[in-house]
């Protein structure tokens, strides 16, 4: 048995920051990350054997709870048949059919390994289809770490996006226009000025990577209207929301009224394994190699273990699962609000379906990246650590949604609720 601190030291000696993805390092909350040894249902255990109720949920995939026996069984059975073939399998068509059954606009589906790849490929496809170079993204939306989409969040309207990372050439983001989320005038202005050069608008149809910020009524419809009018494509990035906030993701929850040209999916569609997808109209998807001129490929794309996990997860994620996640989300959000109110912590809890997050020290609506950044992240730091000390593992950043699963039953919610008053007092003391 080792401790988290020992595990962190060991990892830091050989892995930059000790982690394989930055937010896991607890940079914004401080302290030593929980090194997970195993997980089951709503619970995780660290390397020292300590148990936590988990609200990270692998950052979205674990909608059925961790290590669902049928998903694990499907992966084990697939593993016994071979880990990777580099050849097509029937299971890939089966998973594509399951995706299409839920989101019929995804008539054809291409599988990749990460959400980053799905969004990168969707942008390339949009550029290939339209023969145009410009891509519009919204400040604070995250579409993975490909160069073109790492444009500085917060850049002004009509300014070329600046790289959001060292190592991204300015040429790679010069073709990315960054616009404030939920700002109809700004997006209208962009299209009025450069509409004939825009290949696509990529959006999180409900934003959840700058805290949870649902679209204002009519905003997504406006994106469809403007893109259609100017011959640009609309990409719904549902890597996070897809098959999580409803059986058909945000697109389903908002009423199936908007018709994006392309969707990207990740997280739930891979059931906790490295699998993501893009889907859309057949004439667009058929522009991908081998049928068309837009190149995309992957040694491990459509991997049989990942595909098996995705199939089992989508088959199991029925109406009852979504109802349970919704109920858990509602109960927890109510308890959080009550605890923060009782401790006198000014806050704003925002929801997008079953996703929610808390903005600390603000009370007015948070509608875009600029208003999200007005929060007091220090209050979250105190709250986070008090919860962790009480055995509740929250996402280690104030800008992330809290992820629930169908296994967050009354007992799990009660355990979280019991920890809330003390953590709320810790947050209040830090303000």
Ligand X SMILES: Cc1ncc(COP(=O)(O)O)c(C=O)c1O
122 binds ligand X (CB under 6 A): no
Q: Are 48 and 1 in contact (CB under 8 A)?
A: yes
Query: Exactly one of 237, 322, 369, 399 is catalytic; which is it?
Result: 237
Is residue 62 close enough to count as binding ligand X by CB under 6 A?
A: no
Phi/psi region, residue 352 (left: phi>0; alpha: psi -120 to 50; beta: rest), is beta
Closest CB to ligand X among residues 142, 181: 142
Query: Which one from 26, 142, 380, 399 is the annotated catalytic residue?
Result: 142
In angstroms, what is the minimal distance from the CB of 42 to ligand X?
21
Q: How would you classify the pairing of strands 43-46 and 51-54?
A: antiparallel
Within 318-396, strands assigned E span: 347-352, 355-360, 392-393
CA atoms within 13 A on the CB side of 204: 28
Report in angstroms how near the CB of residue 306 gets to ligand X at its nearest.
Answer: 12
Q: Which of 144, 180, 310, 361 binds ligand X (CB under 6 A)?
A: 144
Among 142, 263, 369, 399, binds ligand X (CB under 6 A): 142
Asked if 210 touches ligand X (CB under 6 A), the answer is no
Q: Which is nearer to ligand X, 54 or 204 (CB)?
A: 204
Compute CA distances 323 → 165, 229, 261, 406, 407, whole Å.
Answer: 39, 38, 29, 8, 12
Residue nearest to ligand X (CB): 115
- Tell the smallest beta-carbon distance from residue 349 to ligand X (Å): 20
Phi and psi based region of residue 344 (left: phi greater than 0; alpha: psi -120 to 50; beta: remaining): left
SS3 per residue for 55-113: CCHHHCCCCCCECCHHHHHHHHHHHHHCCCCCCCCHHHHHHHHHHHHHCCCCCEEEEEC
State how far the Cα of 63 lies from the Cα of 316, in Å rounded to an integer. 10
Binding residue (CB under 6 A) for ligand X from 114, 130, 175, 301: 114
Task: Give min distance, CB of 116 to ligand X, in A.
Answer: 3
Of the listed 26, 267, 369, 380, which one is catalytic? 267
What contacts 100, CB < 8 A, 6 or more positions away?
Answer: 106, 107, 109, 279
Q: Which two tokens stand for residue 191?
A: 């299209």
Query: Closest approach of Cβ 114 to ligand X, in Å?
Result: 4
369 has catalytic annotation: no
Which residues are CB-neighbours of 272 under 8 A, at least 6 positions away?
58, 61, 62, 66, 71, 309, 313
User: Of residues 98, 126, 239, 331, which one binds ligand X by CB under 6 A?
Assistant: 239
Q: Which stretch binds ligand X (CB under 6 A): 138-146, 167-175, 295-303, 377-385?
A: 138-146
- Active site includes 236? no
CB 356 within 8 A of CB 349: yes
**Which residues, numbered 309-338, are part of the site for ligand X (CB under 6 A)?**
none
The reply to whether 143 sits near ligand X by the rule CB under 6 A is: yes
# residues near ligand X by CB under 6 A: 15
The verdict on whether 237 is a catalytic residue reads: yes
If binding is defined by CB under 6 A, does position 204 make contact with ligand X? yes
240 near ligand X (CB under 6 A): yes
**Minimum distance, C-beta of residue 414 to ligand X, in the bound complex (Å):** 29
Site residues (CB under 6 A) for ligand X? 59, 114-116, 119, 142-144, 204, 209, 237, 239-240, 266, 276
Provide the annotated active-site residues: 142, 237, 267
């Amino acid at each position: 048995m080792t401790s988290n601190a020992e595990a962190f030291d060991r990892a830091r000696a050989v892995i930059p920051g000790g982690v394989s993805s930055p937010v896991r390092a607890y940079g914004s909350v401080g302290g030593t990350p929980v090194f997970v040894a195993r997980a089951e249902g709503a619970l995780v255990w660290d390397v020292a054997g300590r148990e936590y109720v988990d609200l990270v949920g692998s950052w979205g995939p674990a909608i059925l709870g961790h290590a669902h026996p049928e998903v694990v069984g499907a992966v084990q059975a697939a593993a016994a048949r071979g880990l990777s073939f580099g050849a097509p399998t029937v299971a890939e068509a089966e998973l594509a059919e399951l995706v299409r059954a839920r989101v019929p606009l995804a008539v054809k589906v291409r599988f990749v390994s990460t959400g980053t790849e799905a969004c990168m490929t969707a942008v390339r496809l949009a550029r290939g289809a339209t023969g145009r170079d410009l891509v519009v993204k919204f400040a604070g939306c995250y579409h993975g770490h490909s160069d073109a989409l790492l444009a500085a969040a917060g850049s002004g309207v009509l300014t070329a996006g600046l790289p959001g990372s060292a190592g991204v050439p300015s040429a790679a983001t010069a073709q990315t226009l960054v616009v404030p989320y939920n700002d109809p005038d700004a997006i209208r202005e962009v299209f009025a000025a450069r509409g004939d050069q825009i290949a696509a608008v990529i959006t999180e149809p409900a934003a959840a990577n700058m805290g949870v910020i649902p679209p204002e009524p009519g905003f997504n419809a406006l994106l469809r209207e403007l893109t259609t009018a100017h011959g640009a494509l609309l990409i719904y990035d549902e890597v996070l929301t897809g098959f999580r906030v409803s059986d058909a993701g945000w697109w389903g929850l908002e009423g199936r009224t908007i018709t994006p040209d392309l969707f990207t999916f990740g997280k739930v569609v891979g059931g906790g394994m490295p699998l993501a997808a893009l889907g859309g109209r057949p004439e667009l998807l058929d522009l991908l190699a081998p049928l068309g001129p837009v190149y995309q490929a992957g040694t491990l794309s459509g991997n049989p273990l990942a595909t098996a996990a995705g199939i089992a997860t989508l088959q199991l994620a029925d109406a009852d699962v979504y109802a349970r996640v919704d109920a858990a989300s509602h109960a927890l959000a109510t308890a959080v609000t009550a605890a923060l109110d009782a401790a006198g912590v000014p806050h704003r809890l925002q929801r997008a379906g079953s996703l929610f997050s808390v903005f600390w020290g603000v009370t007015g609506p948070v509608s875009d990246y600029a208003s999200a950044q007005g929060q007091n992240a220090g209050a979250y730091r105190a709250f986070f650590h008090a919860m962790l000390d009480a055995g509740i593992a929250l996402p280690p950043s104030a800008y992330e949604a809290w992820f629930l699963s169908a296994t967050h039953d009354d007992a799990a919610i009660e355990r979280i609720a019991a920890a809330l008053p003390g953590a709320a007092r810790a947050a209040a003391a830090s303000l």
